[in-house]
């Protein structure tokens, strides 16, 4: 059986602090301004967690498909999330890490998952890579203002 694993990482420098980036990326109802999808928070974070953090769920609608992402970890250094269910990627996990560098932050965004059988792995990787680069560029422009 072919390896259906996709593992895409994008690294970008954003002119702001890790704290500002975490706040921006956990403001689920405003994420559509960066990502090519409609995103709506459907469940808030667990009690005691950072706003929008661990336990929060968001409904993502893209190209006619809908799925739920859940924040599994959130701190000033890292955000982790997973898709509930098996679409668009099975065992999907997103990891966003923040590294302060003077007045900027190096952001490392990784998406890992298993590609559905009907879709070529290279195509899914290409789509994810393009979407991540576009989103990180929009995030940079947003924080440059």
What does pLDDT average to over the chain? 93
Burial category of 65 from C-beta neighbours within 10 Å (exposed 0-12, middle 13-18, buried 19 and up): exposed
Q: What would the pLDDT profile of 78-103 be if each residue is shown by its tens digit? A: 999 999 877 778 889 999 999 999 99
- Structural tokens at position 82: 């997973």
For residue 58, give the nearest of 97, 94, 90, 105 by alpha carbon.
Answer: 94
pLDDT tens for each residue of 104-142: 999 999 999 999 888 899 999 999 999 999 999 999 999
**pTM of the predicted model, to two decimals?**
0.93
Q: How many whole angstroms separate alpha carbon 81 and alpha carbon 54?
A: 9
Query: What average pLDDT does this structure show over 65-70?
Result: 92
């Amino acid at each position: 059986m072919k390896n259906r694993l996709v593992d895409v990482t994008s690294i970008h420098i954003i002119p702001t602090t890790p704290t500002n980036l975490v706040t921006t990326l956990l403001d689920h109802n405003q994420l559509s301004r960066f990502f090519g999808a409609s995103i709506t928070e459907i469940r808030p974070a667990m009690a005691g967690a950072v706003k929008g953090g661990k336990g929060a769920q968001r409904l993502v609608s893209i190209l006619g498909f809908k799925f739920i992402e859940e924040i599994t970890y959130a701190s000033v250094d890292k955000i982790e999330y997973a898709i509930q269910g098996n679409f668009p990627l099975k065992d999907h996990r997103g990891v966003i890490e923040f590294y302060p560098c003077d007045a900027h932050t190096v952001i490392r965004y990784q998406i890992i998952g298993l590609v559905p059988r009907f879709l070529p792995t290279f195509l899914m990787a290409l789509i994810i890579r393009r979407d991540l680069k576009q989103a990180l560029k929009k995030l940079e422009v947003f924080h440059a203002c």
